[in-house]
Amino acid sequence: MHSSVQVNEPKTPAFVYIIASLSALGGFLFGYDTGVISGALLFIKGAFNLVTFEQEVAVAILLLFAAFAAPFAGKLADAIGRRRTILIAAALFIIGALFMTGAPGFGLFVAGRAVVGLAIGISSFTVPLYISELSPPTIRGLCVSLNQLMVTVGIVVAYIVDLSFAEILSGWRWMLGLSIIPAAILFIAMWFLPETPRWLAKNNHLEQARAIFKKIGNSDKDFDGLVVALEENLRVEKGGLRELFSHRLRRPLMIGMLLAFFQQVTGINTIIYYSPIIFQQVGLDSAVAALWATSSVGVINVLSTLLALWLLDRIGRRPLLIWGISSMIIGLLALGIDWLAPAGEERAIVAIASLMVYIFGFAIGLGPIAWLFIAEIYPLKVRGIAMSCATMVNWGFNFLIALTFLTLIELMGASWTFWLYGLLSLFSLIFVIFWIPETKGKTLEEIERLW
């Protein structure tokens, strides 16, 4: 596995960054819509007189529909193109938000959450896929992970919006309705942004593909090289499900699905969805203090993701994953030990510190890299469908962890629950060390030849 950076890489045009930043609004909506519900739920509960089960439905229906949407969206992205698929997701984000914000009763509210779930299931992998096919290999890590950065920003903005509208009558309608603005911008932007040259070339629109490939900083000669590499790869690939489950692609398929699995079962969303509860239990008795602590965890998530963006194309994916997961293990171990101490200020401080160490590790490693990896490791012919399999695993386990966390704490206590996530993190570390190849600096066509 030799590392090969394109030699004739010209200066990256601003257009590439514009494409990546605008389409990453899909990531913002992913973060916003998954983060906003924790605060909004407090008010929706009162507005619709919800019992506990109905509250769980309000939260979890989105995750379930995201998992359902993923496999269909993969076929869609391969059939009608990445750009049109993101357009559909943007439209669904708008429709879902309209339903939720205007819902006269709980039924329509849940329908809106489900529609947003479909949108997230589609956009969570189509946006990284779209960006990865449009960025030069030397900065692909940075560009694709802009999406993850926007996920983390979306989560923090959602917390802030929740706090700001908490005192306003029917403030929850604003909390949910405001997402229409970024969704509309995404829709308009995708209307004008180009399809990826790789999808176009694969579908025989060579002249269009050439024009776009040149617009993103390549020469005619580079394009001819791309076409040769694509043709060579496409000759050995048949495409479709049979190809995906063939012996040759078993390894990348497993790697993608296992990364998606480990990203979730190492417990990130217990922190994203439940940290106010965690902080209250360790001794921050006022709700405001707990919300502040939660927001600071969100901010560390954003800042550490920024650091990852800077490092991904410099030191590579593997070292970041290894350091990141090690840091998560230390954080979880410390959190479990801390829980054994009597409640009080000291315990709360250690809990906040442990969570920061954990979230830092996630944000430099599994957070961005799980999505980046599945956007770059699959051969073109099966890229959409393969990514959607990994995405389905991701949302499926997101759903499962969200649903079981509080029950696990009741059954085996908080310390053992966090140690369980720690053990799963240890397994993920072993998996990374022995299974994950380095993809830094390689073109997508070169990565295809690894398998």
For residues 377 and 41, what is the distance between their CA atoms, to the nearest angstrom?
38
Shortest spacing between CB 148 and ligand BGC, in angstroms: 5
Assign residue 196 a region: left if phi > 0, alpha if psi is -120 to 50, beta otherwise?
beta
Residues in Cβ contact with 254 at an 8 Å cutoff, skipping those fewer than 6 apart: none
Which residue in 272, 355, 382, 414 binds ligand BGC (CB under 6 A)?
272
Q: In the block, which residue shows the tokens 């079981």? A: 404
Q: From CA 382, how far away is CA 393, in angstroms rounded?
A: 17
Contact status: 121 vs ligand BGC (CB under 6 A): no
One of 38, 152, 294, 327 touching ligand BGC (CB under 6 A) = 152
Using the minimum distance from each CB to ligand BGC, give the nearer residue, 44 or 369: 369
Shortest spacing between CB 151 and ligand BGC, in angstroms: 5
Please tell me whether residue 301 binds ligand BGC under the rule CB under 6 A.
yes
- We find the least distance from the C-beta atom of residue 269 to ligand BGC, in angstroms, to be 5
Residue 274 to residue 59: CA distance in whole angstroms: 12
d(CA 204, CA 121): 28
In the region spanning residues 329 to 388, those forming contacts with ligand BGC, defined by CB under 6 A, are 367, 371
Q: Which residues of 21-32 are buried (b: 16+ CB within 10 A; e: fewer)?
A: bbbbbbbbbbbb
CB of 393 to ligand BGC, least distance (A): 11
Instruction: Give the nearest distance from C-beta 17 to ligand BGC in angstroms.
Output: 21
Residue with Cβ nearer ligand BGC (36 or 230): 36
What's the gap between Cα 61 and its chain centre? 18
**Which range binds ligand BGC by CB under 6 A, 67-75, 87-95, 189-197, 263-271?**
263-271
Minimum separation from the CB atom of position 350 to ligand BGC (A)? 23
CB 348 within 8 A of CB 283: yes
Question: Which residues lie below 8 Å from residue 173, measured CB to CB, with a gap of 6+?
Answer: 101, 102
Query: Using an 8 Å Cβ cutoff, are 101 and 177 in contact?
Result: yes
For position 268 contacting ligand BGC by CB under 6 A, the verdict is yes
Using the minimum distance from each CB to ligand BGC, give the nearer residue, 103 or 366: 366
Tell me the closest approach of the beta carbon of residue 419 to ligand BGC, in angstroms. Answer: 21
For residue 451, the 8-state DSSP code is -
Assess 398 for contact with ligand BGC (CB under 6 A).
Answer: yes
Quick check: 127 binds ligand BGC (CB under 6 A)?
no
Binder to ligand BGC among 269, 275, 294, 327 (CB under 6 A)? 269
Q: Which of 151, 201, 226, 374 binds ligand BGC (CB under 6 A)?
A: 151
C-alpha–C-alpha distance, residues 353 and 145, integer Å = 25
Window of 128-136, 261-269, 323-331, 373-381 that interacts with ligand BGC by CB under 6 A: 261-269
| Residues from 189 through 218 that contact ligand BGC (CB under 6 A) | none
> Quick one: three-class SS letters along 121-133?
HHHHHHHHHHHHH
Angle at 10 between CA 313 and CA 303, to 5 degrees: 30
Q: Which of 285, 286, 281 is nearest to 410 (CA)?
A: 281
Looking at the Cβ atoms of 38 and 152, the one nearer to ligand BGC is 152
The residues of the shown chain that bind ligand BGC, judged by CB under 6 A, are: 34, 148, 151-152, 155, 263, 268-269, 272, 301, 367, 371, 394, 398
